Amino acid sequence: MGPDTLKPDSGLGKDVQVPRTSNYPEQFRKDAVELVLSSDRPLRQVARELGVNHETLRNWVNAARKKQRTATASGDELSADERTELRRLRGRVAELEQEKEILRRAAQYFAREMGR
């Protein structure tokens, strides 16, 4: 073995994470992270609804938070208007999620009633 060859017991190479290509499109990952961050539902529930392993989703969220901290530290902060708009949009998303849940329950109710 040459000097640049790793020996199995050398300890080098441990804890090195090699990035893999994702099975999920970038936009799907961004949308999933935004859903977790903007909703009051537990991460596991969101992961289950999206059909994604909860640890995978947790990794995406942690990476996004880390990226956000880095961006904030470098001066890419939101303006007051952007924060206001973001707050308004998150409220609207929460409202729409509630409406969707009500409609889902109503559909279930009527489906049971029609089956009688």
Could you give the percent of the chain with pLDDT greater than 70?
78
pLDDT of residue 23: 85
Q: For the domain bounded by 23-77, which CATH number is listed? A: 1.10.10
pTM, to two decimals: 0.49
Parse the chain into domains and list their residue ranges. 23-77, 79-116
pLDDT (tens digit per residue) in 70-84: 776 666 677 888 889
pLDDT of residue 101: 94
* Residue 82 one-letter amino acid: E
Tokens read off for 33: 């992270």
Contact by Cβ (8 Å): 89, 82: no
